[in-house]
Structure 1
């Protein structure tokens, strides 16, 4: 197989130089066959055409429709994504325990298609291709990881041959290898403009112009090349591993492949664009999750006007319980409740709304247990309409339309939420329950349904009472406020002094991160070997090794976690354990109770409810 592969991305052509013996002759030809295969399968298009939606402008939408759009935004803010390889969460049964639910939770859950452990040969090949390209971008080479580039049983590799297949002398081969690695370089605007009119040779030999993808709604191809031009390979690599956290690395990468219908080049563009957004747009891991609730409280009590407003607005949403995590559905998926009636337009600044949204999404990732890689969201109003279009593919959403008024309508977070989930949190939703929808929603739903792909629309279910909701959630698990049997109410436990003291121990943090870096390199090395030997007994051995390393990576994360992530409400109440185990029904502090060891000296926990928030 040729070592040089040309990958068309948007308006530019990228030449990649990674060498491994995949059962294809070139990546371009492989991608062409992949697209042809996908077309032959006639899979339903799970993506909404940007042309079908059109631009969203407040001036062009009716107040009723804006209401629905605002509802969608809050829903998506609460929904999280990511498949996490961790021990099964613990469930404390309420008094109305249903034995059938216990039995269902105890049974091994089936791994959904397209996830680690359930890939077709074609999907596995796509996964290898994407890893190869990720390594290209991150400058992860076989030489750096000590992987022998000469295959077992072969005296020479494709890398030691020229374009015509003739053997190169060692010096020439080394020069060619360096040149190929150099081909995957950052490009300036001039180069990008030149590439936009470059042509490529199709499988039939005809010359066809390279065009930017028509469904590149958010200009991710441009963001992709901007990232390559402005960020070092090491920086991109660090952001990818930072996002993995306790997840299986394959699970994260596969989300982008599924979101782009197994189109490898589009998945790569989306993944790299997302990494830039996380690191340099939202500062997810070095600000939002690192500083967390305690820093927001400190900010609102400080003297800096901007920090004071951001801290106050951020904490107001958490204290009132605009959204929260509690319980599981019949499939064992964690439930995220968003009570939209608590949202009032203009009460919080836009930046705090965005940070709160990302904080909820990222926090919810922590309580997913394998093989569940989605969450259930129960929303308490019509707040969620528009953003369902692309994001009901993987999570279950319940709309409780009770007590909604026009005061709850807010367009501000809509555009952010749509872009956030479509561009940066792919494959996040699974099913949608619209609970007690008011009559005005009938017309809105007709519009929304027209936007949805039939596959997504079929996941939307309307419920008018708790009895109908029982098809998805056990009666004893439905909250009392939703007319169910669980007598539980949300109450917020304030940050406890000293709960983040480990984050001050930078020496231990750096030591743990250094050890974790070694695990990253182990996984990369095993993956490189798998890319070189994708078939036979050797491939099975490499895959087994990768799984063992991924498990070690998951377990190791929880050693590092208290040094890099501020404690959250769910750490304080015992839902999220220090070792990563999850108790979906923790006893937790109740109003007037004390903290159960969440901080030094068992400081009394201050509990806040929505009634306490101005």
Structure 2
């Protein structure tokens, strides 16, 4: 398995890229009001080139945009005294630049409706076990090292996670166990949503197992098991986010992307559903940038050719170029070791997905708010340490020796943040199937191919791993689609 650190990541940045990273952290701190007590240290630490660029931008009102309004469109006499403190930051954006998902609008709305402290808290909650630089660099790479555009994307994503999808507060905190309980709800809508969510998991329509030649987690999607209209759109979106977030849990540096395998065996038009495809594309392009390593479309029939032309038109060219078509195990072996290709795909991996239901008490620590708050308070101290070191790193960017010493200190704090996350994880995230079967272990350790079931799997009893999946509550019948089921 090869797992070298890719370019544009912590440890492989060019001097120019490192300067862009400083600039983005500077903007983040201004949005979050971090370091303002240091007499404007963040703002004053801009490089001479950045200051010259800002001065040039001031000469052209058409191309200048503040956080809350396009200055070039304001009347000369219009007062700006009511603007929030962070409105003084200026983004050098040109009118008419492409904004596929309207993130600039979401950016302004977020800054207008949320306090700097709230934005800061949500950004830190996104970090989880990542190196903070690694997370921020995803947005920089996605926006071709344009710090202003990267900031817009990051803040928009933060708002999407916290306000629209409620990723941490709802989806990951409630998880599978809450959905299992909701299947018995007296509320028909809640019951249906929970049933549809759990159906995706129980049937194994998509699951994560093993890794490719680059060490990237493999997400297999059995397209033939999905049939348009069987599950509610909200449930499909919820499950998509849940699966992506779960896949994040199994990323281990230097690996920071995943591979998706769409198994098109026995595909028919009855399996084609454009709505969840569009949502998935938006997730990866707008809210999970630089998380997709490779996409393999396996055994696509001839009828998929026209469908692919439509889908390709929706994709960013960078994403589209990551898609590869394979027809047999030999072609797939270019990306995945034959021993990790499942037998049903003509490989050697003798493993079959079998869902294990949640076990009573596996999420007991979610109710221990006292311990959670104590751990989060300690973690807040690490956030502040990292922010302080980053402020110094920004200020001393032109001093090579000093900057190198500070960078080492920042990396050490980032390592502590990663280790610390797994202490608080059981108090924030409901246990998943992967915790239950012993793939995701305490401390964030992974065992994709365990020889024996562990005694304890991340707080879940071993008995759970041995228990068969319970039959889902009766609702609408779910049938596998055959090649004859053509609309």
TM-score surpassing 0.5? yes
Aligned twin of 1:607: 468
Instruction: Report the CA distance shift for 1:222/1:252 in structure 2 as closer, same or farther (over 3 A).
Output: same
| CA shift for structure 1 position 453 | 6.7
Q: Work out which of the two has the higher radius of gyration on C-alpha atoms and give 1 or 2.
A: 1
Q: How does 1:100-179 map to 2 (within 5 A)?
A: 104=1, 109-141=3-35, 143=37, 149=41
* C-alpha RMSD over aligned residues: 3.0
Is 2:409 the partner of 1:545? yes
| CA shift for structure 1 position 516 | 0.2
Is 2:120 the partner of 1:237? yes
Is 2:319 the partner of 1:319? no
Q: How does 1:300-379 map to 2 (within 5 A)?
A: 300-379=183-262
Kept after mapping to 2: 8 A contact 1:224/1:269: yes
| CA shift for structure 1 position 211 | 4.4
Is 2:476 the partner of 1:582? no
Kept after mapping to 1: 8 A contact 2:357/2:470: no
1:468 to 327, 331, 343: 331
SS of residue matched to 2:296: strand
Instruction: Report the CA distance shift for 1:596/1:587 in structure 2 as closer, same or farther (over 3 A).
Output: farther
Aligned twin of 2:347: 484
Is 2:119 the partner of 1:225? no
Aligned twin of 1:65: none
Kept after mapping to 1: 8 A contact 2:435/2:458: no
SS of residue matched to 1:222: helix
Aligned twin of 1:561: 425
Is 2:173 the partner of 1:290? yes
- Give the Cα–Cα distance (whole angstroms) in 2 for the partners of residues 408 and 330 of structure 1: 30
Deviations 1:258-308 (CA, angstroms, capped at 9, x unpaired) = 001011111111111111111000000000001100001111112222221
SS of residue matched to 1:434: strand
Task: Please give the TM-score of this superposition, normalised by the length of structure 1.
Answer: 0.67
- Give the Cα–Cα distance (whole angstroms) in 2 for the partners of residues 611 and 289 of structure 1: 21
Kept after mapping to 2: 8 A contact 1:322/1:342: yes
Q: How does 1:440-519 map to 2 (within 5 A)?
A: 440-445=303-308, 458-519=321-382
SS of residue matched to 1:224: helix
- Give the Cα–Cα distance (whole angstroms) in 2 for the partners of residues 256 and 148 of structure 1: 25
- Give the Cα–Cα distance (whole angstroms) in 2 for the partners of residues 587 and 348 of structure 1: 35
Deviations 1:6-65 (CA, angstroms, capped at 9, x unpaired) = xxxxxxxxxxxxxxxxxxxxxxxxxxxxxxxxxxxxxxxxxxxxxxxxxxxxxxxxxxxx
Instruction: Report the CA distance shift for 1:227/1:110 in structure 2 as closer, same or farther (over 3 A).
Output: same
| CA shift for structure 1 position 372 | 0.9
**Greater relative contact order, per chain length (Cα 8 Å cut-off, separation 6+):** 1
Kept after mapping to 1: 8 A contact 2:206/2:222: yes
Long gaps (5+) in structure 2: 52-64, 77-91, 479-487
Instruction: Report the CA distance shift for 1:142/1:525 in structure 2 as closer, same or farther (over 3 A).
Output: farther
Deviations 1:298-325 (CA, angstroms, capped at 9, x unpaired) = 1111222222111111111101011111
Instruction: Report the CA distance shift for 1:119/1:433 in structure 2 as closer, same or farther (over 3 A).
Output: same
Instruction: Report the CA distance shift for 1:450/1:230 in structure 2 as closer, same or farther (over 3 A).
Output: closer
SS of residue matched to 1:607: coil
| CA shift for structure 1 position 527 | 0.1
| CA shift for structure 1 position 586 | 2.9
Kept after mapping to 1: 8 A contact 2:208/2:219: yes
Kept after mapping to 2: 8 A contact 1:595/1:605: no
- Give the Cα–Cα distance (whole angstroms) in 1 for the partners of residues 322 and 462 of structure 2: 48
Instruction: Report the CA distance shift for 1:603/1:338 in structure 2 as closer, same or farther (over 3 A).
Output: closer
- Give the Cα–Cα distance (whole angstroms) in 2 for the partners of residues 129 and 528 of structure 1: 11
1:436 to 264, 282, 299: 299
Deviations 1:116-175 (CA, angstroms, capped at 9, x unpaired) = 11011110000000000000011101636xx9959xxxxxx789xxxx9xxxxxxxxxxx
Give the stretch that moved more between structures: 287-296 or 596-605: 596-605
- Give the Cα–Cα distance (whole angstroms) in 2 for the partners of residues 598 and 437 of structure 1: 40
Give the stretch that moved more between structures: 505-514 or 344-353: 344-353
- Give the Cα–Cα distance (whole angstroms) in 1 for the partners of residues 404 and 124 of structure 2: 24
Kept after mapping to 1: 8 A contact 2:210/2:218: yes
- Give the Cα–Cα distance (whole angstroms) in 2 for the partners of residues 603 and 489 of structure 1: 17
Instruction: Report the CA distance shift for 1:130/1:194 in structure 2 as closer, same or farther (over 3 A).
Output: closer
Aligned twin of 1:100: none
Kept after mapping to 2: 8 A contact 1:434/1:460: yes
